[in-house]
Amino acid sequence: MKHLNIVLLGATGSIGTQTLDVIRMHADRLSLVAIAVGRRVEEAVSIANEFGCSHLAIGDETCKDATALSQLPETVHVGFGAQAVDDLVELEDVDVVVNALSGAAGLRASYGTLACGRTLALANKESLVVGGDLIMPLSTHETLLPVDSEHSAIYQCYLGESPEEARRIWLTCSGGPFRGYSRDQLASVTRDQALAHPTWNMGPKITIDSASLMNKGLEVIEAHHLFNVGVDDIRVVVHPQSCVHSMVEYLDGSVKAHLGVADMRIPIQFALSYPHRWESPAAEIDFTKIAPLQFFDPDLDTFRCLALALEAGRAGGTMPCIMNAANEVAVASFLAGECGFTDIDAAVENTMGAFDAEKVESLDQLEQLDAEARKCAASYLKAL
């Protein structure tokens, strides 16, 4: 197999650092040539030095004078701002871009990676939620590899099958820390409670999305684009053990499921090793030690974010962009202690009600709508 040169966007984050583990373990097959981070400059410099990266992009332009930058060799090219991050995907001799940025900020990088013929290993689900109509026509089965564990599972359940012979997708969901809560209980949960996810250790934004079940709604829209399946043919099922990572049900009643330990390094590595499989740093599964596997319907009345995301997915066009922008603003506000947990879905619902779904035409159109929806959600939250 060819040695792969990798660009890693979001190298200091949860997916980013687990991707570094995979690259360390397979240094004979994988090289890290460039990284992008938001503002954690010290960590970025240490990663660039360890892996001998030639390029480093720092999203936050106010980090230009960070003293840690002096520890880089002069040969390393350092850029600042969103454009510098997006430019990395076009560097010469790059094979794969791992997009592990958080939020809609990853949209242009996903689009640019596929537009210039590179393979995209995609963790940044928001870019597909917002821009799937523009991104998917640029991709093939071999050039867009999902990193999200559920979508990696579904991708693997489809291998060797004819997609038109599938009846539906079953998307599993841990249920998050508030599974079984009433709407009243949900209204008074704290930031620390919401950040304590029972099975996965992730960045703050996706952890809050997992607690509100917005993450599952984003994943339904992501699966709709990746596998060309209608939103109503994707069923969410709560599975607290997070052992079955997702399933595909076929016309003859057969169901293929993907199982494994809850370790993101498995789907990250699969996106880099495909079509092969390599030894993994993850622990091995022991079926005799797994508690009985349970499956429940999600509670859409309590977890309104999931219901709203499904509504946005059905509406299609620009509605998922509007929904996602409102959610990003509301989650940031909740994390900053400025609003309550159920204000997140209220802000999303209010913002969705203020816009009509239009046909997706361009990245510029999406970015303009994203900015307008953010303003709308922020003013709703300010008025509370």
Part in contact with ligand NAP (CB under 6 A); list of ranges 72-80, 195-203, 240-248, 320-328: 195-203
Interacting residues with ligand NAP between 263 and 292 (CB under 6 A): 264
Part in contact with ligand NAP (CB under 6 A); list of ranges 71-79, 99-107, 341-349, 360-368: 99-107
x-or-dash pattern for ligand NAP, window 123-142, by CB under 6 A? xxxx----------------
37 binds ligand NAP (CB under 6 A): yes
C-beta closer to ligand NAP: residue 55 or 380: 55
Q: CB 105 → ligand NAP: shortest distance, Å?
A: 4
Q: CB 283 → ligand NAP: shortest distance, Å?
A: 16
The residue length of the chain stands at 384
What does R_g of the chain's alpha carbons equal in angstroms?
A: 20
Q: CB 276 → ligand NAP: shortest distance, Å?
A: 22
- Contact with ligand NAP (CB under 6 A): which of 13, 79, 132, 240? 13
Q: CB 251 → ligand NAP: shortest distance, Å?
A: 30
x-or-dash pattern for ligand NAP, window 39-58, by CB under 6 A? xx------------------
Q: CB 223 → ligand NAP: shortest distance, Å?
A: 13
Q: CB 77 → ligand NAP: shortest distance, Å?
A: 16
11 binds ligand NAP (CB under 6 A): yes
Interacting residues with ligand NAP between 281 and 340 (CB under 6 A): none
- Contact with ligand NAP (CB under 6 A): which of 54, 136, 177, 200? 200
Q: CB 9 → ligand NAP: shortest distance, Å?
A: 7
Q: In the 3-class helix/strand/coil scheme, how is the chain assigned residue by residue?
A: CCCEEEEEECCCCHHHHHHHHHHHHCCCCEEEEEEEECCCHHHHHHHHHHHCCCEEEECCHHHCCCHHHHHCCCCCEEEECHHHHHHHHHCCCCCEEEECCCCHHHHHHHHHHHHCCCEEEECCHHHHHHHHHHHHHHCCCCCEEECCHHHHHHHHHHCCCCHHHEEEEEEEECCCCCCCCCHHHHHCCCHHHHHCCCCCCCCHHHHHHHHHCHHHHHHHHHHHHHHCCCHHHEEEEECCCCCEEEEEEECCCCEEEEECCCCCHHHHHHHHHCCCCCCCCCCCCCHHHCCCCCCECCCCCCCHHHHHHHHHHHHCCCHHHHHHHHHHHHHHHHHCCCCCCHHHHHHHHHHHHCCCCCCCCCHHHHHHHHHHHHHHHHHHHHCC
Part in contact with ligand NAP (CB under 6 A); list of ranges 96-104, 240-248, 303-311, 368-376: 96-104
| b/e burial code for range 121-141 (CB count within 10 A of at least 16 → b) | bbbbbbbbbbbbbbbbebbee
Part in contact with ligand NAP (CB under 6 A); list of ranges 8-16, 160-168, 178-186, 233-241: 8-16
C-beta closer to ligand NAP: residue 102 or 302: 102
Q: Crossing angle for the helix pair 214-227 and 149-158, nearest 10 degrees?
A: 30
- Contact with ligand NAP (CB under 6 A): which of 120, 153, 206, 373? 206
For residue 79, what are the β-bridge partners?
Answer: 57
36 binds ligand NAP (CB under 6 A): yes
Q: CB 14 → ligand NAP: shortest distance, Å?
A: 4
Contact residues for ligand NAP, defined by CB under 6 A = 10-16, 36-40, 59, 85, 100-102, 105, 123-126, 148, 200, 202-203, 205-206, 264
